[in-house]
Amino acid sequence: MSSSASEPLLPKPNNFTHGRNRKKYKLWIALGVTASVLLLITGFVSTTVEGRPEKRSDGYTGRLVTGKRAAVAVEAEECSNVGIDILKQGGNAVDSAIASALCIGVIDSFATGGFMLIRAPNGTFEFIDFRETAPLAADRDMFNDDPESAKYGGLSIGVPGEIRGFELAHKRHGKLPWAALFEPAIRIAGEGFRATPLLEQRLKAGESWLMTMPEWTEVFAPNGTLAKAGDLIIRSKLAKTLETVAKEGPDSFYHGFIAASLVNATQAGGGIMTLEDMEKYEAIIRPTVSTYYHGRKVTTCTTPTSGPLIASVLNILERYNLPVSGMTGVNIHRFTEAMKYGFAFRTEFGDPDFVNNDERIVEIATKEWADIVRQNISDDTTHPPLYYEPKFDHVASHGTMHLSVVDEEDGAVALTSTVNLLFGARILDQATGIILNDEMDDFSIPGKPNNFGLYPSEYNYVAPGKRPLSSITPTIIERDSKFEMALGGSGGSLIPTATLNTFMLDNNKRISAVQAVRRMPDGTVHAASDPRKLGLAAAY
């Protein structure tokens, strides 16, 4: 349907002004949301029979994994098994998640900061924010003259938060000794691991620059050619770093030799991170966001994640009763329209310690706000991007890793971590073996289009100590106050749509577009890992 400039876009007026001036920028959400919804609906519904692998044309054999007690879903089979081993040793979901995340940081080579949503066995929730922060010397206009420097090199590096995040989670919830959680990753890094198909793909994508850097070829091309799937990769320097953190504790990462080495590598690449930045980094406990969708409680994380988007879209869709009517053509249209509004609302998100709009974020996740939005959705009409009232747009994140865990007591974790673009800042510290992130690219640059040619958000401008907005949406679902599912995903702006599809469309269709674990009504557990990454979950 087309309309002239004088024709109304909808039968009902748009009511989204909140009494404030709403500066609008062009937002290409329509095509991207529609494509991602259709991709997820048509591409990730598995009909695999329990215990019988489904073969794909690319050689990948994936299956739904079932167990009686607990499950771990990570994008690499070896790391799913690490998580299960920790549970069998008497660890809980938090212990398992930490060990699994350390493992994936070794094997797939990316993860320095992120978010962890924890459900304790008693049903209480906690959200730990260990997102990277901008160095204290950072400023709003630091990338104006050279936007590319936000993507690669020292200036692109944010202060890493993962170890502080794991420390906080372990102190509050862990059962096994801190050092025990590092043992699998130390062994895998030191003795070597077989390159995964995913790692081979990523190495091939970076071949043009990677083969020019000796510190990279030492690890990933020791024989003069890039490692392929099945080749042995040894990361001995990273193993020693992990061993130090295991024995001496988290402070050894943020003080002393490791911190100094990371700072030196950053500054040698033109960066501004200092020892003071490392020493002052803190993980933060933030509020969770929750809503109910047809009687199931959905808990996710507040900003700077995109969790409020999840709650908002579910609230919009609830009145359509999709579980009964199914994904008909009109319901796919409704889903797409709701996602467009969700992504438009996301343009108002930012680090809550720097953005004074807490009331607005709460409003977006309410049933009342959803009722207003729903009045503006027509079953036979779609609209140009500006109709959905975006204020700005944000950059999308990349290089994410998600894992989901449920233990025997229904303690659960949904954890997502990232270094942003493939191999982060393209700086591998020769002394520690750590690959440094380029999370500064997740900030918006005033007056400049981002990596995708979209315009920036003032809510997401760089500031000293600020955390950039993320597409990450760790989510846990309960039914009748009991754990049902933990899920989340990777893939930048696809994360919210993948998470919503996995939750809404599951209905025993065994979707595995993201890492998910689920407690079934009979008490067994089902787990599935992302088939795009050739993942395989584990359970017992």
* Angle at 41 (CA atoms; ends 38, 43), nearest 5 degrees: 90
What does 378-419 look like in DSSP terms, one character per residue?
-TT----GGGG------PPP-SEEEEEEE-TT--EEEEEEE-
The terminus-to-terminus CA distance of the chain in angstroms comes to: 53
405 is in an annotated binding site: no
> Using an 8 Å Cβ cutoff, are 159 and 135 in contact?
yes
Residue 107: alpha-carbon gap to chain centroid: 17
Q: Buried b / exposed e across 213-222, counting CB within 10 Å, b at 16+?
A: eebbbbbbbe
| Contact predicate 298/311, CB 8 Å | yes
- What is the rounded distance in angstroms from the CA atom of residue 281 to the CA atom of residue 139? 18
Q: Tell me if 493 is assigned to a ligand binding site.
A: no
Q: Which among 74, 117, 32, 136 has a CA at the least distance from the CA of 466?
A: 136
Cα–Cα distance between 52 and 64 in angstroms, integer? 8
Q: Is the peptide bond before 13 cis (omega within 30 degrees of 0)?
A: no
Compute, in degrees rounded to 10, the torsion defined by CA atoms 47, 31, 395, 335. -50
Q: Can you tell me which residue has the tokens 């695999």?
A: 48
Q: Determine the residue type at 493.
A: S
Residue 217 labelled as part of a binding site: no
Of 291, 305, 400, 416, which is the active-site residue? Answer: 400
Is 419 among the annotated ligand-binding positions?
Answer: yes
442 is in an annotated binding site: yes
- Known binder of ligand: residue 514? no
Place of tokens 């036979």: 380
- The verdict on whether residue 492 carries a ligand-binding annotation is yes
Task: Respond yes or no: is residue 400 known to be catalytic.
Answer: yes
Q: Is 420 annotated as a binding residue?
A: yes
- Compute the distance between CA of residue 421 and CA of residue 190 in angstroms, rounded to an integer: 26
In the block, tokens 């659960």 appear at 412
Residues making up the binding site for L-glutamate: 131, 418-420, 442, 470-471, 492
Q: Could you list the active site residues?
A: 400
Residues making up the binding site: 131, 418-420, 442, 470-471, 492
